[in-house]
């Protein structure tokens, strides 16, 4: 079996909910079943949203389920030079341009009659070919630019280990926000390569972003990892689970009278690792029988008791 050095990369903006924990468990199993390293990385570039207490509570919840990791957690906020070096590399090779469009303007372009590629959810390239004089006018108006990857029309296909083939275009990604913060699509690619991540296991709401991440890695001359996208855990409305939706965090479940072992057993059952009559004491007990081919491909609808207000 190929090496599966992996990672789990939450944002320290709240307690991990059962969807986060389920994805972390799957990612950990892929790596540890192969006796490969597993790292914890905090996606903490959004300084307005993060809370310091979650740097401690998130690893604590993972460890309570037996999900361990190698070394100290990595903080994106301490790696800005690494991301900006990647931006310089792309800019030097004429792969970037300044974009002065607001989100509202991008939405309006997509909604306009004959909106072209914008109607497909892609940026229409409004600022891609501005002249130097036009750019200067925008700058003089006081509007700070974002930095986008220059569109090339290229399509990338990826074979996901759980979802099969996915294809997409990586045109005109924002790689630096207009406040100067490196954007997710750039930093995740740079981080995974820098940490030697060989298999990215994450929720399937990011599946459509994967061709862009692969294309960006190739532009930067970085190794491309393998990918495995685990189906989302959804709430009552069939959409992505929210921490505000009910008793969905480990702390919530403990407050409801469950033990970490019972929560782990529920997660293992939901991943098809044990049947509904079985329990498990710690994540390591699942390694012997772990087979990625047996993981479910459908989203998990949480039971009603999880979705009651906590």
pLDDT at 121: 53
The counts of H helices and E strands in the chain are 9, 12
- The terminus-to-terminus CA distance of the chain in angstroms comes to 43
> 236 is written with which tokens?
């009552």
pLDDT at 119: 41
Least confidently predicted of 70-84, 145-159, 272-286: 145-159
2 pLDDT band, cuts 50/70/90, is: low
pLDDT at 245: 66
Burial of 110 (0-12, 13-18, 19+ CB in 10 A): middle
Look up residue 149 and give its DSSP letter.
E
Pairwise pLDDT comparison (179 vs 107), residue with the higher score = 179
**Is CATH 3.40.50.800 correct for 6-77+231-307?**
no
Using the predicted structure, report yes or no on whether residue 6 has a pLDDT greater than 70: yes
Pairing label, strands 164-169, 174-176: unpaired
What is d(CA 265, CA 253) in angstroms, rounded to the nearest whole number?
13
pLDDT at 117: 40
Predicted structure pTM score: 0.91
Pairing label, strands 38-42, 74-75: parallel
pLDDT at 216: 94
287: left (phi over 0), alpha (psi -120 to 50) or beta: alpha
Using the predicted structure, report yes or no on whether residue 274 has a pLDDT greater than 50: yes
| Rounded average pLDDT over 36-65 | 97
Mean pLDDT, rounded, of the chain: 90
pLDDT tens per residue across span 108-137: 765 654 444 434 457 888 999 999 999 999
pLDDT above 70 covers a percentage of the chain that reads 91
Residue with tokens 């906020």: 77
Selecting from 3.90.800.10, 3.90.180.10, 3.20.20.60, 3.40.605.10, what CATH number does the domain 80-176 have? 3.90.800.10
Task: Domain ranges for the chain, please list them.
Answer: 6-77+231-307, 80-176
pLDDT at 120: 42
Do 280 and 286 touch, CB atoms closer than 8 A? yes
pLDDT tens per residue across span 186-198: 999 999 999 999 9
Q: How far is C-alpha 161 from the geometric centre of its chain's CA atoms?
A: 16
pLDDT at 170: 79
pLDDT at 115: 43
pLDDT tens per residue across span 82-109: 999 999 999 999 999 999 998 888 777 6
Q: Between the ranges 225-239, 255-269, 293-307, where is the mean pLDDT highest?
A: 255-269
Neighbours of 60 (CB within 10 A): 13
Q: CA-CA distances (angstroms) from residue 184 to 8, 212, 279?
A: 15, 12, 37
Residue with tokens 């991943």: 271
Do 67 and 253 touch, CB atoms closer than 8 A? no
Using the predicted structure, report yes or no on whether residue 257 has a pLDDT greater than 60: yes
Using the predicted structure, report yes or no on whether residue 45 has a pLDDT greater than 60: yes
């Amino acid at each position: 079996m190929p090496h599966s050095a992996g990672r789990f990369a939450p944002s320290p903006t709240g307690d991990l909910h059962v969807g986060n924990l389920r994805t972390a468990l799957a990612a950990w199993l892929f790596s540890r079943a192969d006796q490969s390293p597993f790292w914890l990385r905090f996606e903490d570039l959004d300084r307005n949203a993060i809370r310091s207490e979650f740097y401690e509570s998130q690893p604590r919840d993972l460890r309570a389920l037996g999900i361990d990791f190698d070394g100290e957690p990595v903080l994106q906020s301490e790696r800005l030079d690494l991301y900006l070096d990647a931006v310089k590399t792309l800019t030097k090779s004429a792969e970037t341009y300044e974009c002065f469009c607001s989100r509202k303007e991008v939405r309006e372009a997509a909604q306009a009659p004959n909106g072209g590629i914008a109607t497909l959810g892609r940026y229409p390239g409004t600022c891609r070919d501005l002249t130097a004089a036009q750019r200067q006018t925008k700058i003089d108006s006081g509007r700070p630019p974002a930095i986008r990857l220059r569109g090339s029309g290229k399509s990338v296909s990826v074979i996901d280990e759980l979802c099969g083939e996915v294809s997409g275009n990586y045109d005109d990604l924002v790689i630096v926000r207009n406040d100067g913060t490196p954007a997710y699509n750039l930093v995740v690619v740079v981080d995974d390569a820098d940490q030697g991540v060989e298999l990215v296991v994450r929720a399937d709401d990011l599946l459509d972003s994967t061709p862009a991440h692969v294309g960006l890695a190739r532009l930067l001359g970085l190794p491309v990892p393998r990918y495995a996208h685990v189906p989302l855990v959804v709430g009552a409305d069939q959409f992505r689970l929210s921490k505000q939706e009910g008793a969905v965090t480990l702390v919530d479940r403990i407050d409801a009278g469950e033990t970490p072992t019972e929560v782990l057993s529920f997660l293992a059952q939901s991943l098809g690792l044990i049947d509904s009559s079985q329990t498990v004491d710690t994540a390591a007990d699942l390694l012997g029988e772990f087979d990625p081919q047996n993981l479910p491909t459908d989203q998990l609808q949480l039971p009603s008791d999880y979705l009651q207000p906590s």
